[in-house]
Amino acid sequence: MVIVPARDEGPRIAAVVRSVAAALPGVEIVVIENGSTDDTADRARLAGATVLHSEVGYARALRVGFVHAHASHAPWVVTVDGDGQHPAEALAALLRGLDDADLVVGSRFLEDAGYPVPAGRRLAIGALSAWASLFGGQALTDVTSGLRAMRPAVVAAFALDYPTDVADANVLVRALRAGWRVVEVPVAMRPRLSGSSQHQSPSKSALFALRMAQLCVREGLSHPGRAPRLPTPQPPAGR
């Protein structure tokens, strides 16, 4: 199952849904519309997606998606942003990563990012990744990437307990502290198809980074085992 949180992505969401459907034929694509003021839901539905709704917020949208995936017994879940930055052709590599991991992250910084990430943003992501690596106990390069794949037990844990405020680097720290196998794979991402990012404002980006750093500390200092430890991974079914 592919989960796509989307808010005011009407001009882009149909292209995202169609590209994912072409890359993974027959897979359910679930768009979680969260507080849109445009026709995001209608365009996603016309493109062939299942459309669910959540309260405003990226993390809340993901939580709704995880609950749906868990109830549907999805053999795996991939999360994809609704702005067109995540190339559908990279999804197969993320799924292959699940052969040896519980959670796979698509990283812009293992190889070529695919597009020039502004220097300030790249520095901020690098600093936050280093901070999350410190509290998670494993080196990570792209903790703000929303392109992630996960096995069913991870989905089940997220369906029961997932942050509803913000969910980014802190979720990876939680995963590592819980003993999950987290790996990154290189992905050449694209700039947004159009529109503006939620982190476009420097002040909002700074506040987000500070909040995320605080949450990473909280997760890192928490007692491990908030989510169940997973057995040795087996290749997911239904690929």
Position of tokens 């430890």? 229
CA dihedral sign of residues 87, 89, 93, 98: positive
**Distance of alpha carbon 73 from the chain centroid:** 19
Position of tokens 């991939």? 78
The whole-number pLDDT of residue 222 equals 78
Asked whether the beta carbons of 66 and 159 are under 8 A apart, the reply is yes
The whole-number pLDDT of residue 148 equals 98
| Rounded-to-integer distance, Cα 107 and Cα 91, Å | 12
φ/ψ (deg, to 5) at 52: -120, 165
In this prediction, residue 193 has a pLDDT band, given cuts at 50, 70 and 90, of low
In this prediction, residue 114 has a pLDDT band, given cuts at 50, 70 and 90, of low
Q: Which one-letter DSSP state was computed for residue 144?
A: T
- Hey, which CATH number is domain 2-221, 3.20.20.20, 3.40.50.720, 3.90.550.10, 3.30.1330.10? 3.90.550.10
The whole-number pLDDT of residue 105 equals 97
The whole-number pLDDT of residue 231 equals 43
The whole-number pLDDT of residue 232 equals 44
Q: How far is CA 90 from CA 14, 67, 75, 223, in A?
A: 18, 25, 18, 34
Residue predicted with more confidence, 191 or 85: 85
Asked whether the beta carbons of 74 and 1 are under 8 A apart, the reply is yes
Closest of 5, 174, 158 to residue 74, by C-alpha: 158
Task: State yes or no: pLDDT of 195 exceeds 80.
Answer: no
In this prediction, residue 192 has a pLDDT band, given cuts at 50, 70 and 90, of low
The whole-number pLDDT of residue 234 equals 47
The predicted-structure confidence for 129-182, as pLDDT tens digits, reads as follows 998 999 999 999 999 999 999 999 999 999 999 998 888 999 999 999 999 999
The whole-number pLDDT of residue 235 equals 47
In this prediction, residue 220 has a pLDDT band, given cuts at 50, 70 and 90, of confident
Range with lowest mean pLDDT among 4-8, 32-36, 188-192: 188-192
**Domain residues of the chain, as ranges?**
2-221
In this prediction, residue 126 has a pLDDT band, given cuts at 50, 70 and 90, of confident
Helices (H), the chain: 10-23, 40-46, 58-71, 91-97, 119-136, 152-160, 169-177, 202-221
Taking the complete model, does pTM exceed 0.95, yes or no?
no
